[in-house]
Amino acid sequence: MGTDPEFILRELSEGLILPKIRMAIEDTDDSDSMDILHKWMSPWINIMAKREMHSILNESVLPKLSLTLDTLQITRHSFGELDSVFLWMDFMGCRC
């Protein structure tokens, strides 16, 4: 039980990794930071359990992306903000 690799990974992810990911997301406040956060989280997506990542994406990332879209001023210079939203589409399960 205590030395089972799945148990160890679950304990590490729930006690150390997931809280740090949530904190990083909460500290993110603009589209440039969301791009960096996306690059940082990419390797973790395949390692974490789907349930855990689904929770993080829906509770933390989705509100940030919604805020980005809600406050988006459409200009010829706003494509960077849209790109930051599009980066997350695969993680969020969006299919276009």
CA distance linking residue 8 with residue 1, whole number of Å: 9
Compute the average pLDDT of residues 40-44.
77
For the segment 9-31, what is each residue's pLDDT rounded down to a tens digit? 778 878 888 888 888 888 877 66
Q: What's phi and psi for 9, nearest 5 deg?
A: -60, -45
Residue with tokens 């969020």: 92
Write out the chain in H/E/C secondary structure: CCCCHHHHHHHHHHHHHHHHHHHHHHHCCCHHHHHHHHHHHHHHHHHCCHHHHHHHHHHHHHHHHHHHHHCCCCCCCCHHHHHHHHHCHHHHCCCC
pTM score, whole prediction: 0.64
pLDDT value at position 94?
63
